[in-house]
Structure 1
């Protein structure tokens, strides 16, 4: 490396390495010390991870050093996916969530930390699913247990979640928007849009929760 411009050359290497895939990047890291240091740049591995997966949970690596976490996360997740594809045992558990009689139209995640569910540990994870059979179901994904099932309504078309409030929002084919308490299944509220094609969008502004409901050519409801 040019001793007069070490950082410039390093930046050039990193830029060149953005054109490499993960296998070529690992190969490049074995060439020399300078190439190794450039190939270990966390930003490169972060970029590769986010290109492959839309969501990456670095907390899964525990106390690993931050400078190496993105690369290790990529390697660990690839190894896990390979084991799952080949049916090998590993750091994962497969559970069959059976109960719906129709097509599942969506699945959302909740962290099971509500005091309203004393039979679940605070570390239990809950997912809620919606189906064309007209029901919402909640599941403990650690043991596959069905926690609750909503009353049957028209075929459901969409499900979203507000994790902070632990509220599930669904829309059905008759245009009915319904909110459910995610841990208990209690119906909180409902609103008829009189439209069979609705789009739900949940977002937060300054910690205030909003739900926008729109139908074709009209965006018209904020909650």
Structure 2
């Protein structure tokens, strides 16, 4: 919009009545960029038309679209301007968009069916709940502690995704838990399980034993879908994708199968501590380097020195999980996270840990401490650490968290799940009642 066009528009605006101004502004604003809209508002003030509310006179759908760009603090400030703006900021479309922004990173915290049941007036309440949960999470203030009982020996591995928790134990079982209810939904028996993984979208669970075998079960029918053998020593880590299952062992090899057909795809010589499948690429961590292999032929795509150990590896896995299509350029994604990984090197003494990479939080337990103390590290603020606060005097707690020795930690959807030496699972929740 040129200055001449603006002068022409203002000269017409002056002689119009209120209803005509609404029609005129609607047509004018639809052709304006955000900067031109700001210029128009300034020009109206100069011409003594500043008391005219441009946003308030727009059709509701346009006003709502403008207000969606504001953050929560600004929206609350806008409510104090006038009744019209207060009415706009109450529109459920705005708060639904704000909720979806948060839930984009916490895809499992609310199911799709639950979202369909939310009434229009309930989106603002949901946002307030999610916002308060994030504030508690940022400050390490646990609102509720729950204990999940069932395992009779130490927890060897655990995976939390959404409201589903899968745990492996030295008691020769793998258990599926519903985190919302705290109930164990199924128990798979076998041998002493060293590691577990599962895919909620494919509804399959994989677990490996200290005795070289890996198993795959259906989460729906609970039947055994396959047993995968090939290693000659204990399996250290297992990873699942939509088509493949991969495991690494103390025997210095990584083996990949197509779990749908049962066919062995490749045996890769790699002294791996941990593996992760990303589409058709296997990411492997050894004691001194990180490598990527093509699943189909086992060739090494890239190799780089890597001295940050399992903490750096864990951060990379969570970081790659938080972005879309990381396999398109894994190497550049690794480089982009190196600055954070370097800063984590002084946490090498931690015993168990996990990350919330979206919120830049690092949950850890120091391996040198005799008691179980959870720390929340804000690693975007000079790696400042603080002890996580949880309600000691909750009458519903029939166990003392300070007497437990944590063996595993998982972070997901602003929740912490810790597996203990005793077989107890501790669930720390940050939602307010």
TM-score by length of 2: 0.34
For residue 62 of structure 1, report the CA deviation from its aligned partner.
8.1
User: Is the 8 Å Cα contact of residues 64 and 93 (structure 2) preserved in structure 1?
Assistant: no
CA distance in 1, matches of 2:195, 2:134: 31
Q: Tell me whether 1:188 sits opposite 2:225 in the alignment.
A: yes
Partner-residue secondary structure (3-state), 1:35:
helix
95-104 or 9-18: bigger deviation? 9-18
Structure 1 unpaired stretches of 5+ = 111-126, 204-209
Partner of 1:74: 127
Structure 2 unpaired stretches of 5+ = 1-17, 30-54, 244-259, 262-278, 283-291, 298-433
User: Is the 8 Å Cα contact of residues 196 and 207 (structure 2) preserved in structure 1?
Assistant: yes
**Pairing of 1:121-200 with structure 2 (within 5 A):** 127-131=164-168, 133=170, 135-139=173-177, 142=181, 144-145=183-184, 147-162=186-201, 167-172=203-208, 177-182=214-219, 185-192=222-229, 199-200=239-240
User: Is the 8 Å Cα contact of residues 154 and 172 (structure 1) preserved in structure 2?
Assistant: yes
CA distance in 2, matches of 1:105, 1:143: 15
Q: Give per-residue Cα distances to partners, 1:176-208, cap 9 Å, x unaligned.
A: 5532133675423123476966542238xxxxx
Structure having greater relative contact order (Cα 8 Å, sep ≥ 6): 2
For residue 137 of structure 1, report the CA deviation from its aligned partner.
0.8
48-57 or 167-176: bigger deviation? 167-176
User: Is the 8 Å Cα contact of residues 136 and 149 (structure 1) preserved in structure 2?
Assistant: yes
CA distance in 1, matches of 2:155, 2:142: 29
Partner of 2:362: none
Partner of 1:202: 242
Partner-residue secondary structure (3-state), 2:22:
coil
Q: Give per-residue Cα distances to partners, 1:12-69, cap 9 Å, x unaligned.
A: 7545534533233133134224323432344432332233232344754786543x34
User: Is the 8 Å Cα contact of residues 195 and 237 (structure 2) preserved in structure 1?
Assistant: no
Partner-residue secondary structure (3-state), 1:152:
coil
Structure index of larger Rg: 2
Between Structure 1 and Structure 2, the one with more helix by share is 2
Q: Tell me whether 1:218 sits opposite 2:255 in the alignment.
A: no
**Cα-Cα RMSD:** 4.6
CA distance in 2, matches of 1:200, 1:51: 28
Partner-residue secondary structure (3-state), 2:100:
helix
- Call closer, same or farther: CA 1:151–1:43 in 2, change over 3 Å: same
Partner of 1:25: 75
- Call closer, same or farther: CA 1:60–1:218 in 2, change over 3 Å: same
- Call closer, same or farther: CA 1:151–1:197 in 2, change over 3 Å: closer
